[in-house]
Amino acid sequence: MIFKLFFGQLQRVGKALMLPVAILPAAGILLALGNAMHNEQLVSLAPWLKHEVFVILSTIMESAGQVVFDNLPLLFAVGTALGLAGGDGVAALAALVGYLIMNATIGKVMHISIDQIFSFTDGAKTLSQANKLPQHALILGIPTLQTGVFGGIIMGALAAWCYNKFYNITLPQFLGFFAGKRFVPIVTSLVAIVTGVVLAFVWPPIQEGLNDLSNFLLNKNLVLTTFIFGIIERSLIPFGLHHIFYAPFWFEFGSYVNQAGEVVRGDQRIWMAQMKDGVEFTAGAFTTGKYPFMMFGLPAAAYAIYRQARPERKKIVGGLMLSAALTSFLTGITE
């Protein structure tokens, strides 16, 4: 009974994570196209890309895609809250407020300042010239710990819990204005303060453990690691738990310092950052292996099923297989 309850909760969290994850393909396409349009080799083949209109367009597309990856923790906070609260916008607002308060609390408890986040060495005088330290982050102008998408997921889940528990609360008449859903962001703010205090003491050793684990997985035997990752991830898909499993690999494991001096974490985010910087790729091992069978293997299997269908059922089977194959090829959704 307890296992079924726990399993059901994990499935709910996995489904909630699908919302922020669904944004990433569009952001990745914008970033890739924007980056490609001012790539030197492509520009030499298509000189018209030097025109001011295309230069501005490529910059806008690249910035539009990059801002999504830069704010993934916030998106995960809002998306997780929406998913676990049945899509109610009050939960999303509570998660947004809670995430900001949580980070502000962490920064104040740990006395984190701008000088602790950025290393002003080698004559650096501005933030863009300074080296960013990996254990800290500047979240929407708030100096805090680098909790990554885990911090967003934690706050999103707590905001959803507050919503589900207090959305229909009744208060004394003189406090009636704050009753019901209006009470949710208020109580979430209080929960966020407590969460921030707890994370200020609990997160640093967890962060160190994650760094050690990611270094071990990425540096010891990457081929074996990605093989095991692929098997486990595909095995979890029928149960809807794969979103929970791959999130640390895609958004937290590994680190890379981009040309702006910012620390980028996570296999997928590092790959995007390296593409933008135009350097040799060292990331992508936990994402690229999936695309050949998503784009070709499963559509080929769908075609084989169609070919082997009984003549009287070919139209029905063909329609089902075509929609499934297109979904797999275009979006990577294979469930």
Write the DSSP symbol of residue 289.
Answer: G
In this structure, the dihedral spanned by the alpha carbons of residues 319, 322, 327 and 330, taken in order and rounded to 10 degrees, is -140
Phi, psi dihedral angles at 133 (to 5 degrees):
-85, 135
- pLDDT, tens digit (0-9, with 9 covering 90-100), for 147-173: 888 888 899 999 999 998 888 888 888
Token code pair at residue 301? 């299997």
pLDDT value, residue 128: 47
Residue that wins the pLDDT comparison between 132 and 136: 136
Domain ranges of the chain: 291-335
What angle (nearest 5°) sits at the alpha carbon of residue 286, between those of residues 283 and 289?
105
- pLDDT, tens digit (0-9, with 9 covering 90-100), for 60-90: 888 888 888 888 889 889 988 988 888 778 8
- pLDDT, tens digit (0-9, with 9 covering 90-100), for 164-205: 888 888 888 877 787 888 888 999 999 999 999 999 999 888
| CB 106, CB 112: distance < 8 Å | yes
Strands (E) in 64-120, as ranges, are 118-119
Looking at the chain, the whole-number percentage of residues with pLDDT higher than 90 is: 14
Range from 38-42, 233-237, 289-293 carrying the lowest mean pLDDT:
38-42
Residue with tokens 């997985």: 217
Res 120 pLDDT > 70:
no
- pLDDT, tens digit (0-9, with 9 covering 90-100), for 3-20: 666 667 667 777 777 777
Class of residue 14 by CB neighbours under 10 A (exposed 0-12, middle 13-18, buried 19+): buried
